[in-house]
Amino acid sequence: MLTFEKAIIKKYWPAEDKVDEEIVRQLVIQAEAELDNSMQVGELYNHMVRGLIKVSLLDNLTGEEYVLPPVTIKPFNVKQKKVKMGKGMDAEIVKTEYAALTLVCRLKENKASQILADLYSFFNIQLQLTMTELQLQDTVEQIPEVDEE
């Protein structure tokens, strides 16, 4: 499990991809996640290489949580930006590292508009971003048992 305490969704939009003559509807999310240590970069890379992961967004103010459909991480960048600590003349400027992420998940036709609407409440605010490995029970629906007679 990988948790970023300070993350911000910068942009998100629906997209389409063509796979074997079939149109696949997707949701693309661009986010910035502040890095606490270099171990997070390694974990992030491992999640990117493994493929599908489970991503949850937690609003730090309200405690509201939203879990995205299975997500894949596109290649990411580690960048630095200057952050002002304090106010006025005594403000100190500190460099912080963050990961510029692009997350992509597949949208189901009947839930696409609902996911886009739900995600709006998490847009452009500071939130907690948690990534975990996708378990088999997360992707496979329960198959009812059939009695053989």
pLDDT digits (tens, 9 = 90+) for 64-113: 999 998 999 999 999 998 888 888 888 888 888 999 999 999 888 778 88
Residue 149 has pLDDT above 80, yes or no: no
pLDDT digits (tens, 9 = 90+) for 73-85: 999 999 998 888 8
Kindly state the percentage of the chain with pLDDT values over 90: 57
Residue 12 has pLDDT above 80, yes or no: yes
The two beta strands, 22-34 and 92-106, are antiparallel
Question: Tokens for 46?
Answer: 């491992």
Residue 139 confidence class, pLDDT cut points 50, 70, 90? low
Cα dihedral sign, 62-79-51-1: negative
Contacts 24+ apart (CB under 8 A), 9-15: 9/57, 9/119, 9/122, 9/123, 9/124, 9/127, 10/124, 12/116, 12/119, 12/123, 14/107, 14/112, 14/116, 15/104
- Whether the Cβ atoms of residue 13 and residue 119 lie closer than 8 Å to each other: no
Start-to-end Cα distance in the chain: 44
- Is the pTM of the predicted complex or chain greater than 0.95? no
Phi-psi region at 86: left, alpha or beta (left = phi > 0; alpha = psi -120 to 50) = left
pLDDT digits (tens, 9 = 90+) for 14-63: 988 887 888 888 999 999 999 998 899 999 999 999 889 999 999 988 99
